Structure 1
Amino acid sequence: MPHAGLTTTRPTTRHPLSTLTAEEITAASAVVSAAGLVAATTRFAYVGLLDAPKADVLAWEAGTGDLPARQVRVQLLDLESGVQHDVVVDVTAGVVVSDEVLQSAEVGQLPILDAEFDLVPQIVAASPEWVAALAKRDLTPEQVVTVPLSAGEFGIEGEAGRRMARVFGFRQDFPTDHPWAHPVDGLVAYVDLTRRQVTRVIDHATMPVPEPHGNYLDPEVAGPPRTTLKPIEITQPQGPSFTVDDDGLMTWEGWQVRVAFDAREGLVLHRMSIADGDEQRSVVYRASISEMVVPYGDPSPTRFWQNYFDTGEYLFGRYVNSLELGCDCLGEIHYLDVTLADESGNPRVVKNGICMHEEDYGVLWKHSDGFTGVAATRRQRRMVISFFTTVGNYDYGFYWYLYLDGTIECEAKLTGILFPSAYPGDGPDGEPYPYATLVSPGVGAPVHQHLFSARLDLDIDGTPNAVDEVDGVRLPISETNPHGNAFTNRRTRLTSEGHAAREADGAVGRTWHISSTERTNGLGRPTAYVLFAEHTPTLLAADDSPIARRAAFATKHVWVTRFADDERYAAGTHINQHAGGDGLAAWRAKDRPIDGEDVVLWHTFGLTHFPRPEDWPIMPTDYARFTLKPYGFFDRNPTLDVPDNASAHCATPAQHNGTGHNGTGHNGTGPNGTGPNGTGHDCAGHNGTQHHQHG
């Protein structure tokens, strides 16, 4: 239920892009069952809304077209036979629209199921090679938890067309012991999930199992709780400034956004627009995290394959946490429940899966004028839409921020537990192992990256848009620049997909301007938004490596493609054990024109993680983000109408020149770097058991 202070209205007709309901999930399941596609051993790998064609949605919104049908994508796996179906169901008409039997040798495998991971302990315990390798380390299967992981695709003999997982072991000393601190390293099992057999055991090296515990909630590890932190209370006595209706439409300070959720992509934001006077102007048609990859950099025989696609292989949206007030979210909170399908095709509800609130964000604008004596300060505020998901050992929070001045920001928050190894020891001259950090006695943390692909279907004042790459340019001394102080910028129009795969360059402050080709502002310039990227590394694996083929999206910071309804995922539709070459790499090869067309901008952002001891045994939150800012979208500062702060602590212009306690942003950016309404991370509830564990 919404918070008591929130206004809620009920729409008369559901929007075509609204999140699937429990009734629709049940209907889709019934349709595929009636079609004879579901046996006792069949599991539902994915159930999600298949977005109606964009042209049809826009026509319906404009009143020139009919309400599009609601279609659901259902992916089915038979656990016994390995047969895979990719089905489209029209839940409006109650019929199967299409049924494609996927040939695994060509498209790889459907996402990994929890039901399969439940089988792995028994599979490896039945392997004489695995049991013997454990015995060599004075261990039994009962002492070791198994960690099954996605296998990737490396052309390994005998694996083509087989549904594979790779399995590590970790010793667990007692039921509440975190096994991550005790990696059984130098050992990995390759498992055929359909045949339920171990196909290969690689016993590369017998390494000591680290002994120190990593139980970070144990007082012996954490120490006594500190008593010096005083409470912080966030209140809005008159309630929040935003509303959310029953169809997911959020309205706040001129912004309108349709909030939806998908088992694969997590949060999906549709039809993002902002008011300018009496006009509601479009900015983004659809925004989501379309893919992410976590490539590891340890080339050892048991670890070279560690590259995880948390979106495409694991469907990270289905592991959404149930959030708790005061722990995950502070302040005047509105929660949305998340409805997903379980692996039997039945709806399940995750309470409080999406957190929505507004928070103070320091100074919006300020000036103390020496000529007029006028001093004024206005405070920035932002709307926060977020969720947290736990994919094995890592916890990811995804936060979308909307600001009063039209800025949009997306931030990924990374915490949880590093994926550990046994540290192999320093070299003969004392040089550290180059592919991992020693984080605890005997425990190594391999180097790795977290690379996210944001899919941004931008509609800046409508669908016809253009993209310019803008660099700062240093000018030489010349007749027109005699003192050498001049510099300017250079704009390069991206005209086709073939040359629209671009890299950030901090040395020239590179940005990308997405502008309308049909509308200009009051100064005669095209209305636009600018992408500000963080200048962090793209994929560091070799250009001709298997992971570079599979995660081609991660080799560039920015890709621009021409919109197509069926081009949703940066690495392609099918990821698990796919050889690569699909997704952005294939679409770029089409070299379609993009100047003045309906374009999609794909942005790779993330972290390159060289772990540190302070990241163990649980990692303080790290951050990766990008920003979209209006550039000539408005004719002037759009926040001149933001009122003065009504707080009694805020000084008047006659008092200390307007620099009172709140007037200088004293409360603007609390210790977590997210403002005083920022979210906590230490007591998130988890929905369901997490079976697969990785970084």
Structure 2
Amino acid sequence: MTLTDDQVTTTATHPLDPVTAAEITAARGVLAEAGLLGDAVRFAFFALEEPAKDEVLAFTPGSPVERRFRVVLLDLADGSSRDVVVSTTRSTVDSVTGIDPAVSGQPPIIDTEFELVEDIVNGSETWCAALARRGIDPASVRSVPLSAGAYDEPGEAGRRIVRVLGFQQFHEKDHPWAHPVDGLVAYVDLTRREVVRVLDHRELPVPQEPGNFDDPAQTGPHRTTLKPIEITQPDGPSFAVDGSRVRWENWDLRLGFNEREGLTLHQLSFHERPVLYRASVAEMVVPYADPSPVRFWQNYFDCGEYMFARYTNSLELGCDCLGEIRYFDATVADDLGEPRTIGNAICMHEEDFGVLWKHSDMFAGSHETRRQRRLVISFFTTIGNYDYGFYWYLYLDGTIQLEAKATGITFTSAYTEGQDYATQLAPGLGAPYHQHLFSARLDMCVDGPRNAVDEVEAQRLPVSAENPYGNAFRESRTRLTSESEAARVADNSRARAWHIVNPESRNRLGRNVAYALYPEGQPTLLADESSSIHQRAAFATKHLWVTRYDPAERYPAGDLVNQHPGGAGLPAWTAADRSVDGEDIVLWHTFGLTHFPRPEDWPVMPVDYAGFTLKPVGFFDRNPTLDVPPSANGHCHGG
């Protein structure tokens, strides 16, 4: 859409500029003027409605910027909801779509609802009686509301349901995760604000040992042997920041943020050559393995069901980030549609990363070493018991990595001898087995928007006349031409990788330029194919999906994940089986952890890691870091 100068009211200078507080306030005003708000209406989702890719790529600095926002409105009074697109540039509501929860799923669970749950369950005679039989005062129990999933439970269709587990808290500073009240669960209707069912399956002793990792009485005195490490850059950092645009060495990119995906990267280029149009973690699911009647439903989509980036931490220098730091704030809308700024939401800094390249040559007498460096862009969010950090790394040689860091407290249960689905962490305390499966959405743009994907792997060769000694192996390359062919699993035994190639761009050796996606190849979703979670988290059943670009296809499990019966997102889109050979394509990469908790994970879990790497393959004609200077002598010395 072309705007006239008198219509331009936004302060944004680029279509992908982050949301501002003024824009949230303006959007709320437009919605109120249109009669879409009321005393019981809450904002379940608010984010920039990004323009289509061709519009962004055609944008020139100084051109008018249209700002549109997508809002999901939830009426707490009757549970009805609407999906709305609003323009703050034109002060108009562009579309209003009613949501049928039985078909489309429910909006995400919001803070207002979380805050209601403990009073709702404590008002239930059945819940309180179950606690009384256990000798537990309901006032000492912290109610943990969890997404209900989609099951054939009587009376749940179309209702806004959460399932509630209890954890006892013995004093104000006590971490209740150490004291699960197991064998008991309440089903709560959030709209009617009532407990619809209490399942009192069995009475299990509440573990008594505290898990207060911040209590010196439990941890003992801090060690005194660690000497300080100081990271200094006397001349300042090597990056430059202009609003949300970042330039570092040969990299150029834009940063974004929204409450569902958190940190997003846009228009990454290297030496002014495009590599990635947009990158994000678009969904994650945490399926649990305990099949008991109280816990079989535990499967959380932290992005789609909880909007997990709402709970992004304000990062602290020296604790979360170390060195010469540049912080970025993030602005989100709260339940009432008022702007809320998360200070220091995003951390950016440089890190030394060891040797970049090195060689000592016996013939030429040369001894050369160069140091690798990376730009780190990260955020951390806390969702219930777990804390997740997402770290994007850009390297001097054109490599891109994403590393997800999982820490916090493992979800706990009571433990009895002979359990097959949990680890004993402490006396009577268990941690159910589970997975953390993430979906990275990678809108590729390798030397331009038309790309294709080759599956590349090692191929063993039998002894033959050509291979008489049996030592030969070669590279096998298969073009994935359609969406059905491009739903793939990793195979580390074959060194399987996926090369994103540009069929229209060649290097000096005549090969198509490419970036390779190297998966870690950990297990995909382990739940049975007939299970509800298999239907709802189909994205997690493959390591790779490739789809034709469509601006409406943003989330791999669908737009509304909460209580959705399944089949949305990737399985629905790829049913069209569109061509992905030499097209504008998006890669969806599943990666993550299969967690069999250890005693060492208690009472707080050391960081566990998962991720992937994107590496140039023939994108450059030779090593692109030959111009990296040697380190100053003062920085290369020994004792």
> What TM-score bracket applies, with the shorter chain setting the length?
over 0.9
Judged with a 3 Å threshold, the aligned counterparts in structure 2 of structure 1 residues 140 and 588 are, in CA distance, closer, same or farther, namely same
How many angstroms apart in 1 are the aligned matches of 2:61 and 2:274? 13
Aligned twin of 1:602: 588
Cα deviations across residues 71-95 of structure 1 (Å, max 9, x unaligned)? 1001110111111011000111110
Judged with a 3 Å threshold, the aligned counterparts in structure 2 of structure 1 residues 62 and 268 are, in CA distance, closer, same or farther, namely same
Given candidates 252, 258, 267, the residue that maps to 1:256 is 252
SS in 1 for 2:310: helix
Shift of 1:121: 1.1
Given candidates 547, 553, 574, the residue that maps to 1:567 is 553
How many angstroms apart in 2 are the aligned matches of 1:661 and 1:559? 49
Which residue identity does 2:541 align to in structure 1?
T
Q: What TM-score does the superposition give when structure 1 sets the normalisation length?
A: 0.90
Which residue identity does 2:454 align to in structure 1?
D
Given candidates 258, 274, 292, the residue that maps to 1:282 is 274
Is the contact between residue 557 and residue 568 of structure 2 (CA under 8 Å) also seen in structure 1? yes
How many angstroms apart in 1 are the aligned matches of 2:486 and 2:270? 28
Superposition CA RMSD, Å? 1.3
Which residue identity does 2:626 align to in structure 1?
L
SS in 2 for 1:17: coil
SS in 1 for 2:623: coil
Given candidates 328, 331, 334, the residue that maps to 1:336 is 328
Aligned twin of 1:391: 383
Does residue 1:229 correspond to 2:226, yes or no?
A: yes
Is the contact between residue 74 and residue 88 of structure 1 (CA under 8 Å) also seen in structure 2? yes
The structure showing larger relative contact order (alpha-carbon pairs under 8 Å, at least 6 residues apart) is: 1
SS in 1 for 2:439: strand
Which residue identity does 1:333 align to in structure 2?
I
Shift of 1:56: 1.2
Cα deviations across residues 571-600 of structure 1 (Å, max 9, x unaligned)? 010100000101001111110001000000
Aligned twin of 1:375: 367
Aligned twin of 2:623: 637
Aligned twin of 1:214: 211
Shift of 1:425: 2.0
Aligned twin of 2:541: 555
Aligned twin of 1:611: 597
Aligned twin of 1:113: 110
SS in 2 for 1:365: strand
Aligned twin of 1:54: 53
Aligned twin of 2:123: 126
How many angstroms apart in 1 are the aligned matches of 2:105 and 2:505? 45
Aligned twin of 2:263: 267
SS in 1 for 2:59: helix
Cα deviations across residues 8-61 of structure 1 (Å, max 9, x unaligned)? xxx996110111111111111111111101010111111101110111111224
Cα deviations across residues 497-554 of structure 1 (Å, max 9, x unaligned)? 0111000001100000001121111111111000000010000000111000000000
Is the contact between residue 57 and residue 67 of structure 1 (CA under 8 Å) also seen in structure 2? no
Is the contact between residue 57 and residue 68 of structure 1 (CA under 8 Å) also seen in structure 2? no
Gaps in structure 1 of 5+ consecutive residues: 1-10, 427-432, 651-659, 663-695
Aligned twin of 1:302: 294
Is the contact between residue 557 and residue 569 of structure 2 (CA under 8 Å) also seen in structure 1? yes
SS in 2 for 1:497: coil
Is the contact between residue 649 and residue 661 of structure 1 (CA under 8 Å) also seen in structure 2? no
How many angstroms apart in 1 are the aligned matches of 2:633 and 2:448? 40
Does residue 1:543 correspond to 2:529, yes or no?
A: yes
Is the contact between residue 76 and residue 85 of structure 1 (CA under 8 Å) also seen in structure 2? yes
Structure 1 stretch 607-616 or stretch 51-60: which is displaced more?
51-60
Cα deviations across residues 285-305 of structure 1 (Å, max 9, x unaligned)? 000000000000000000000
Cα deviations across residues 459-490 of structure 1 (Å, max 9, x unaligned)? 00000101000110000000000101100011
Which residue identity does 1:96 align to in structure 2?
V
Aligned twin of 1:665: none
Given candidates 435, 447, 460, the residue that maps to 2:433 is 447
Given candidates 283, 287, 292, the residue that maps to 2:284 is 292
Aligned length: 630
Does residue 1:176 correspond to 2:173, yes or no?
A: yes
Is the contact between residue 50 and residue 73 of structure 1 (CA under 8 Å) also seen in structure 2? yes
Aligned twin of 2:70: 73
Aligned twin of 2:399: 407
Is the contact between residue 506 and residue 512 of structure 2 (CA under 8 Å) also seen in structure 1? yes
Gaps in structure 2 of 5+ consecutive residues: 1-9
Is the contact between residue 212 and residue 441 of structure 1 (CA under 8 Å) also seen in structure 2? yes
How many angstroms apart in 2 are the aligned matches of 1:393 and 1:143? 18
Q: Where in structure 1 do 4 or more consecutive aligned residues deviate above 3 Å?
A: none
Is the contact between residue 45 and residue 75 of structure 1 (CA under 8 Å) also seen in structure 2? yes
Aligned twin of 1:44: 43
Is the contact between residue 539 and residue 570 of structure 2 (CA under 8 Å) also seen in structure 1? yes
Is the contact between residue 260 and residue 267 of structure 1 (CA under 8 Å) also seen in structure 2? yes
Shift of 1:661: 4.4
SS in 2 for 1:590: coil
Is the contact between residue 497 and residue 560 of structure 1 (CA under 8 Å) also seen in structure 2? yes
Aligned twin of 1:690: none
Cα deviations across residues 333-382 of structure 1 (Å, max 9, x unaligned)? 00001111111101111110000000100000000000011100000000
Is the contact between residue 455 and residue 498 of structure 2 (CA under 8 Å) also seen in structure 1? yes
Is the contact between residue 312 and residue 379 of structure 2 (CA under 8 Å) also seen in structure 1? yes
Structure 1 stretch 100-109 or stretch 596-605: which is displaced more?
100-109
Shift of 1:156: 1.1
Matches within 5 A, 1:440-519: 440-519=426-505
Cα deviations across residues 600-651 of structure 1 (Å, max 9, x unaligned)? 000000000000000000000010010000000000000000000014142x
Q: What TM-score does the superposition give when structure 2 sets the normalisation length?
A: 0.97
How many angstroms apart in 1 are the aligned matches of 2:579 and 2:105? 31
How many angstroms apart in 2 are the aligned matches of 1:400 and 1:139? 46
How many angstroms apart in 2 are the aligned matches of 1:89 and 1:299? 44
Is the contact between residue 60 and residue 67 of structure 1 (CA under 8 Å) also seen in structure 2? no
Aligned twin of 1:16: 15
How many angstroms apart in 1 are the aligned matches of 2:316 and 2:57? 37
Given candidates 345, 361, 366, the residue that maps to 2:353 is 361
